[in-house]
């Protein structure tokens, strides 16, 4: 009987490969042997527990993988939210700066507009070449429709050379250069030389705000006056404008400087006539007389 029990127990350990005959043999033996029946029940319970444990391990493993994936996705989402927040913060910060610049430029343009139709003013432009310290001075005088200017330069020996322009407002602009040569230019009622009436044209500056998306603007105070320093990004120019008037009074670069000093309501007929006398012309001089 003992040998038979050993055989049955060995067979039970390999139940998955048993033939039908062996299974019938085990069944008949278990019906009459309590000891092997108990062994069979214990072995079955153990196998079921092992299967359950293995199943729980698989479930736990799946849950761990799922948790890891969830954590990774959560981290990615948080990072995306942070990156998105940083991007929009920088974007709105940049847009806020641009809007501030546009507001300042528009305010300067509005302040300068009151000087566009002046008919009595003068201004002096002093330009300096920073490499050789060469200096040039241009003086403008405007009275009604008449205007004159005097361009003062210097030779290599330091001697002054002058060029002049005269416009009575009735005829075209006539010129006299440093070599005494005469010329004329058709006068279409536009402002003299480089500037629109007063040196306060901020159109180019306002375009820079849009063209370069950023204009560095600094405010400072000097000589009882508030100023703005306007520096377009990517250029070596700086413009200095009076805050209250919007008038550009200085331009600075690595190569040169332009400085502008102006006065309003100070021009008289004597200022116009002074240049006219130097050029030997007056408001009645015809172009034919001048070029003769």
The rounded distance, in Å, linking the Cα atoms of 196 and 175 is: 20
The 10s digit of each residue's pLDDT in 132-182 is 778 889 998 989 888 898 999 887 777 889 999 998 887 788 888 888 888
CB-based burial of residue 123 (10 Å sphere; 0-12 exposed, 13-18 middle, 19+ buried)?
A: buried
In the block, which residue shows the tokens 């910060």?
93
Query: Does 29 map to a domain?
Result: no
The rounded distance, in Å, linking the Cα atoms of 150 and 167 is: 12
Query: Does 252 map to a domain?
Result: yes
| Residues 135 and 151: beta-carbon distance below 8 Å | no
For 256, the domain range is 116-200+247-291
Using only C-alpha atoms, the chain has a radius of gyration, in whole angstroms, of 48
Query: Does 238 map to a domain?
Result: no
Question: Nearest 5°: phi and psi at 117?
Answer: -110, 25
Query: Does 31 map to a domain?
Result: no
pLDDT at 37: 73
Of 137, 146, 151, nearest to 260 (Cα)? 137
Parts of the chain with a pLDDT under 50: 1-2, 192-197, 203, 209-210, 212
Residues in the chain, overall count: 292
The pTM assigned to this predicted structure is 0.62
In the block, which residue shows the tokens 């440093």?
178
Query: Does 155 map to a domain?
Result: yes
The rounded distance, in Å, linking the Cα atoms of 173 and 281 is: 11
Number of domains in the chain: 1
């Amino acid at each position: 009987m003992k040998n038979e029990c050993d055989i049955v127990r060995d067979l039970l350990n390999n139940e998955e490969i048993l033939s039908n005959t062996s299974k019938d043999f085990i069944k008949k033996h278990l019906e009459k042997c309590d000891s092997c029946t108990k062994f069979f029940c214990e072995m079955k319970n153990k196998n079921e527990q092992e299967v359950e444990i293995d199943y729980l391990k698989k479930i736990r493993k799946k849950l761990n993988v799922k948790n890891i994936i969830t954590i990774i996705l959560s981290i990615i989402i948080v990072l995306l939210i942070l990156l998105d927040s940083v991007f929009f913060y920088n974007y709105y910060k940049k847009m806020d700066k641009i809007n501030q610049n546009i507001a300042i430029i528009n305010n300067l343009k509005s302040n300068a507009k009151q000087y566009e139709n002046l008919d009595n003013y003068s201004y002096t432009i002093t330009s300096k070449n920073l490499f050789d310290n060469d200096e040039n001075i241009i003086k403008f005088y405007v009275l009604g429709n008449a205007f004159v200017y005097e361009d003062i330069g210097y030779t290599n020996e330091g001697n002054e050379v002058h060029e002049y322009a005269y416009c009575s407002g009735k005829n075209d602009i006539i010129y006299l250069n440093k070599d005494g040569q005469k010329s004329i230019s058709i006068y279409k009622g536009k402002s003299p030389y480089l500037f629109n009436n007063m040196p306060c044209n901020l159109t180019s500056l306002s375009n820079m705000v849009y063209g370069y998306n950023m204009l560095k603007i600094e405010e400072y105070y000097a000589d009882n006056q508030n100023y703005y320093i306007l520096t377009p990004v990517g250029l070596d120019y700086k413009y200095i404008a009076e805050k209250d008037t919007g008038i550009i009074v200085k331009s600075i670069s690595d190569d040169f400087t332009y400085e502008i000093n102006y006065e309003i309501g100070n021009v008289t007929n004597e200022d116009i006539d002074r240049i006219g006398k130097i050029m030997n012309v007056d408001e009645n001089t015809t172009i034919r007389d001048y070029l003769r």
